[in-house]
Amino acid sequence: MPDLQRPYLQSYPNGEGYFGRFGGNHYPPELRPALEELASSYQELHQTPEFQRALNNARVGLQGRPTPIHYLENLSKQVGGAQIFIKREDLNHTGAHKINHCVGFALLAKKMGKKKLIAETGAGQHGVALATAAAYFGLECEVHMGEVDIAKQSSNVGRMQLLGAHVVSATTGQSALKEASDSAFNAYLEQHAHALYAIGSAIGPHPFPMIVRDFQGVVGREAREQFMSLTNGSLPEHVVACVAGGSNAMGMYSGFIDDPEVVLHAVEPLGKSDELDQHAATLSYGRLGTLHGARSIVLQRDDGTPASVSSVASGLAYPGVGPEIAMLHEADRISISAVSDKEAIRTFFRMAKLEGIIIALESAHALAFAIRLASQCLSSERILVNLSGRGDKDVDYVLENYGTDASATLS
């Protein structure tokens, strides 16, 4: 892979929707007209002053942006080494970064004359964010969710219903995020004349990965400016994000991608162990494949079928990764690491007790790695973590399985 072209964001994807050899459109030809309509409407609409004004109103009034950057002083002192900062995407209305691209898709749907939004969800964060954006813009909403996740994230299911969304249970296979995505894509195939698919991550066929990255780019743009004003014009040495499909990571990386001195880290879930079916560490253990309409890196068995996945964080339990993340990995622009369920849970408790913040189990993966990294760095170095979501949705699960103090169960 040759050096990445600059300016990066204008150079990728190419005209066919490829990021290097990853991406493209590998869905049934019946879906092609809908995807072409989406790509051309997006190009036509998203930079108009009217679209930007409406988007900005939603960002400020509905979402509560900008979200701040916060220095984790207690944690940094306890760990030693680098200073750890977080970009507080957990403070978004609905509690996670997902709403950044949901409001974008909802506005786009409205401008395209669509009546309904369709999506899949894992932890339920994307579903709640989309149901919120649909209510705000006066659209119908249909969210597909694995049966297992429906049971685990019941409070988010109730929220979606309260916001007027129809929740569809996906009951095939592992009844989790992959099956929810299959089910949502099928619904889109049937309903695309009046509905828009607001995908949950930077995955799927072109133009979804590009649109999600662009709408999430608000995180990186804000973070870059805020960090520089906090530190008299310097950039962080390290930027860290957890990765399933890559929406929070690509949003954050967007702000620093053309700065080669900033190391970009992607953190994957190592689940219960490094054995196939026991984790969802796609970049670490996957290989070239096609999943949900895009060429990418996929965790798969010898016969090419997607592997089962396991992670304590439902939002990270996905056997693929977005094509742009796959390209950045192949180009050595991102450095990958994996964090186990146990390490993530320990970090969840540590953040609550030490910093007063209950973080999402997905984000706990990113922070757990940042802690590891900080201890190997100089005290002059700075690590900026995308704190993608808050942990309210995980509290019941954690209390039930670990109580209020994890030290006994995790030792």
The full length of the chain comes to 411
* Nearest residue (CB) to ligand PLP, 151 versus 228: 151
- Are the beta carbons of 62 and 94 closer than 8 angstroms? no
Site track for ligand PLP across 342-371, x = CB under 6 A: ------------------x-xx--------
Establish if 247 lies at the interface with ligand PLP (CB under 6 A). yes
Cis peptide before 66 (omega within 30 of 0): yes
* Nearest residue (CB) to ligand PLP, 81 versus 293: 293
Burial class (CB in 10 A: 0-12, 13-18, 19+), 122: buried
Q: Binding residue for ligand PLP (CB under 6 A) from 34, 38, 86, 123?
A: 123
E-assigned strand segments in 254-307: 263-271, 287-291, 294-298
Establish if 205 lies at the interface with ligand PLP (CB under 6 A). no
Interface with ligand PLP: number of residues (CB under 6 A): 21
Q: Which of residues 372-391 bind ligand PLP (CB under 6 A)?
A: 388-389
* Nearest residue (CB) to ligand PLP, 25 versus 247: 247
The Cα angle at residue 202 between residues 198 and 203, in degrees rounded to 5: 85
Burial class (CB in 10 A: 0-12, 13-18, 19+), 246: buried
Upper half-sphere CA count for residue 178 (Cβ side, 13 Å): 20
Residue 120 appears among annotated catalytic residues: yes
Q: Binding residue for ligand PLP (CB under 6 A) from 131, 242, 283, 307?
A: 242
Question: Residue 77 Cβ, how far from ligand PLP at the closest point, in Å?
Answer: 26
Establish if 248 lies at the interface with ligand PLP (CB under 6 A). yes
Q: Binding residue for ligand PLP (CB under 6 A) from 201, 282, 311, 347?
A: 201
| DSSP H/E element including 133 | helix 125-137
Distance (Å, whole) CA 280 – CA 245: 11
Question: Residue 2 Cβ, how far from ligand PLP at the closest point, in Å?
Answer: 26
* Nearest residue (CB) to ligand PLP, 35 versus 176: 176
N- to C-terminal Cα separation, the chain: 43
* Nearest residue (CB) to ligand PLP, 96 versus 239: 96
Establish if 246 lies at the interface with ligand PLP (CB under 6 A). yes
Which residue blocks in 163-265 are alpha helix, DSSP H? 177-191, 208-230, 247-254
Active-site amino acid positions: 98, 120, 388
| Site residues (vs ligand PLP, CB under 6 A) | 96, 122-123, 125-126, 201, 242-249, 315-316, 360, 362-363, 388-389
